[in-house]
Structure 1
């Protein structure tokens, strides 16, 4: 049986340079590859990898339509909150939830929802 080895979200955008800038300058990712001629980039932070690209002709695209969120776990959600709360469009402030997670959510420059959470000890 084949084993899955990674999940690397591909974010469609019409503003590739702006997306690279948001993830690197605001969230602290490192841009590993930027292929401007192909309209594609990848970025990484602490082993979390994401990609962004200009939509190709096979995929209809006017604006991001992803209806979920990208949920990223961390070992210090409060530190991330303090670092990013004044730099991003916030969906909801940091909060401890009854299901055992402390988390907050923000929107990237395209409108994609990013949630950051940390499991807490009860």
Structure 2
């Protein structure tokens, strides 16, 4: 039986990725060992893994994940309060497919879309 999924996204700079997810998005780092080529972060029931890809060109990165939430407006406002940049075309809006969504781009251009069913 399947119980969870933990996406793996590319990162160029572990320090920058960790700073963004931990300090800006309020995730916590997982694990006690420091692996220079790997990073794991968690927030609530969401766990995201990152692998080193030093030659990644952010303009050619199409990494993306969709994260469901049960408080889209609260999450959106908390990120605005922290001055986290929202994707230029991804501000909070109701979509025709019955979701309220917004999107962010991390330092490596991985697209994070947050959504809640309405």
**TM-score between both structures, scaled by the size of structure 2:** 0.83
Whichever structure has more strand as a proportion of its residues is 1
CA contact (8 A) 1:88 1:108 kept: no
TM-score, normalised to structure 1's length? 0.80
Residue of structure 1 in register with 2:15 after alignment: 17
Determine which structure has the larger helix proportion and give its number.
Answer: 2
Gaps of at least 5 residues in structure 1 are none
Change (3 A) 1:105 1:37: closer
Root-mean-square deviation over aligned CA pairs: 2.1
In structure 2, list runs of 5 or more residues that go unmatched. Answer: none
| Separation of aligned partners in 1, 2:66 and 2:35 | 30
- Which residue number in structure 2 is paired with residue 98 of structure 1? 96
Number of paired residues? 114
* Cα deviation, residue 105, structure 1: 0.7
Which is higher, the Rg of structure 1 or of structure 2?
A: 1
